[in-house]
């Protein structure tokens, strides 16, 4: 992947490829099963969410926006698993508490057994 580390990226789960798609400057620049993001914002387009609910068909309208980084320290001070289900929520949520989350200092995005895992991290 050719990513400019000085420009923001947007990362979303690709339902067809079962991996993360990485977009920069409006273009997909690659796919990966693992990526770390600094200063992530958890973004949901409300119009896109409404369209999913209306058509009962998923579309790209939710993503993590921030700056790509190489590697994170091993043990965070805090971590929370993040989820988003367009049929149940209108924003990203902290798993198990259903509290809304809009940002965190870091995020680790992984694909495990073809399922997306997003972890908000504090160091």
The pLDDT of residue 105: 96
Q: Identify the DSSP state of 90.
A: S
> pTM for the full model?
0.93
**What are residue 62's phi and psi, to 5 degrees?**
-135, 135
**What are residue 108's phi and psi, to 5 degrees?**
-115, 125
Go through the chain and tell me how many residues it has. Answer: 123
CA 77 and chain centroid, separation:
21
**What are residue 52's phi and psi, to 5 degrees?**
-60, -45
Q: Which residues of the chain have pLDDT under 70?
A: none
- Is the distance from CB of 20 to CB of 32 less than 8 angstroms? yes
Longest dimension (CA), the chain: 42
The pLDDT of residue 61: 96
The pLDDT of residue 3: 94
The pLDDT of residue 7: 97
**What are residue 54's phi and psi, to 5 degrees?**
-70, -45
Q: Tell me how far apart the terminal alpha carbons of the chain are, to the nearest angstrom.
A: 27
The pLDDT of residue 74: 79
């Amino acid at each position: 992947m050719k990513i400019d580390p000085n420009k923001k990226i947007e990362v979303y789960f690709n339902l067809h490829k079962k991996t993360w798609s990485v977009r920069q400057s409006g273009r997909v620049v690659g796919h990966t099963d693992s990526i770390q993001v600094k200063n992530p914002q958890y973004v949901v387009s409300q119009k896109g969410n409404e369209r999913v609910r209306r058509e009962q068909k998923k579309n790209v309208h939710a993503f993590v926006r921030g700056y790509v980084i190489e590697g994170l320290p091993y043990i965070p001070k805090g971590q929370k698993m993040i989820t988003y289900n367009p049929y149940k929520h209108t924003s990203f949520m902290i798993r198990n508490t259903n509290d809304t989350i809009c940002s965190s200092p870091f995020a680790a995005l992984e694909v495990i057994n073809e399922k997306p895992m997003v972890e908000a991290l504090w160091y």
